[in-house]
Amino acid sequence: MALSSAGKVISTILRHDDKTTTYKIALLRAINDVVLSFPDLRNFNQDVAIPLRVLAEYWVAYYWPFAGHNPIPQGPCQITAKGNKNDIAFRPLLTLLRQRGQTELQLSSQPSEGFYLINLMRIDRKRQEFSEDFLKLYKQTLNKIAEAIENPIQYAGPGKWSVFDKPAKCSDLERHAVSIPGTQPSDRCLVVSAELWNGFRDLSLWIEALCIHEWSLFTEKLQQSDIKVDRGEVYRLLTNRPDNRRPLTWERNQIDMLLMEGYEFICPWTEKRIYSGVKYAVDHLVPIAVYPINELWNLVPSDPKFNSHIKRDRLPSTERLIKATLPLELAYSLYDKSATLSRALHQDVAIRFSVIQQSNYWGSLAGAVVDLIEQVAESRNLHRF
């Protein structure tokens, strides 16, 4: 595969940069996930500002499986006069967050529960269900990780600041870069050049695979006298994804109310009418196993048999996506009939999509969702139905 200049930069960092921890690998993987998560930013063809806290959220998910009861080192652990020095600066806070998540939130021991947690914490109505103590701990963890992220940003590539500039407040970057949705003026941001952003977009699948491969090799090679882990186990931990076992009770109750009021939805895949008394599934358009998104735009009523036996964890073909545009537009417009769903939908759209036309909001949103699904499918080369 012939690499672009951006691809060569990414490849060099992953394969040849000096590394004492997995930080540089995690940084590039997080940028890659951000690019995949906000595909409409490519339309601006500008440098993009990513808040460090957003990158830190992804690090929570990546490092989650390494912070369990049997922690797996991600760098050399040095002995000091005061005792053991942590291999990664945020290990104590992340370990405590995982413990609290399992006891207070009934999170399982599944390695991918970190992905599930960060997805919930991004949604305002979900975040309100957490205790103040847990929210405080989560924020502390993100802040500590954000501090750690500045190191690989500085040392990525040859010398200092050779690939990325020093992070700065979003308010100081507005003339130079477009920010991802949900960015606050006070957020310290990493700026990714337009060329590098496009490189991540075009090489997303390859970058993901290379990150996981290099991460697995690095972790296996760490010399620890009492802890040994092979690359296959690290690979399993890094590629585990949440399942769809959790009920969407709140969303289903709100949809049931609309159905009882006489509104009808249409399944985006079978065009089956869904009205009061008809069984339906609340379908994740982008399946949880592909990308854990519980934002309301990603949840629509669908034919339960088709959802369970045909769609499952796959993404639709381009042709099916095009046909689904009108049923999705209908679903979003019906959500607007409920004050509760309307508020939730607008909040979720605001943190995901950069440009939605106000004059044709539901049609524009449906088009943006279709485009996002298409980009995810192409970037990950996924099996489609």
pLDDT at 132 over 80: yes
Higher pLDDT, 247 or 152: 152
Residue 179 neighbours by CB distance under 10 Å: 20
Within 13 Å, how many C-alpha atoms sit on residue 116's CB side?
A: 22
pLDDT at 82 over 70: no
Residue 244: per-residue pLDDT: 64
Percentage of residues of the chain with pLDDT beyond 90: 81
The pLDDT confidence band at residue 289, using thresholds 50, 70 and 90, is confident
pLDDT at 291 over 90: no
Place of tokens 């008809």: 278
Residue 2: per-residue pLDDT: 58
Residue 234: per-residue pLDDT: 95
Q: What is d(CA 23, CA 151) in angstroms, rounded to the nearest whole number?
A: 8
Residue 308 DSSP symbol: I
**Residue 4, C-beta contacts closer than 8 angstroms, at least 6 positions apart:** 199, 202, 203
pLDDT at 227 over 70: no
One-letter amino acid of 375? Q
Closest Cα partner for 310 from 276, 362, 269? 269
What does pTM read for this prediction?
A: 0.94
The mean pLDDT value for 328-357 works out to 96
Residue 190 three-state SS: strand
pLDDT at 71 over 60: yes
The mean pLDDT value for 152-181 works out to 94
pLDDT at 246 over 90: no
The mean pLDDT value for 80-97 works out to 82
The mean pLDDT value for 200-228 works out to 87
Q: What is d(CA 168, CA 350) in angstroms, rounded to the nearest whole number?
A: 23
CA angle 374, 380, 385 (to 5 degrees): 55
The pLDDT confidence band at residue 268, using thresholds 50, 70 and 90, is very high
CB-based contact 119:22 (threshold 8 Å)? no
Residue 229: per-residue pLDDT: 85
pLDDT at 226 over 70: no
The pLDDT confidence band at residue 235, using thresholds 50, 70 and 90, is very high
Closest Cα partner for 95 from 61, 122, 66? 66
pLDDT at 18 over 80: yes
Q: What is d(CA 297, CA 318) in angstroms, rounded to the nearest whole number?
A: 19
The pLDDT confidence band at residue 277, using thresholds 50, 70 and 90, is very high
Residue 212: per-residue pLDDT: 97
pLDDT at 355 over 90: no
Q: What is d(CA 211, CA 28) in angstroms, rounded to the nearest whole number?
A: 8
Instruction: Please give the torsion angle defined by the CA atoms of residues 149, 349, 298 and 291, in that order, rounded to the nearest 10 degrees.
Output: -10
The pLDDT confidence band at residue 83, using thresholds 50, 70 and 90, is low
38-54 confidence digits (pLDDT tens)? 988 988 899 999 999 99
Within 13 Å, how many C-alpha atoms sit on residue 369's CB side?
A: 34
CA angle 19, 20, 25 (to 5 degrees): 50
pLDDT at 370 over 90: yes
Residue 378: per-residue pLDDT: 86
Residue 15: per-residue pLDDT: 95
- Supply 97's token pair: 């967050």
Least confident interval from 103-112, 160-169, 177-186, 236-245: 236-245
Q: What is d(CA 306, CA 259) in angstroms, rounded to the nearest whole number?
A: 20
Residue 69: per-residue pLDDT: 79
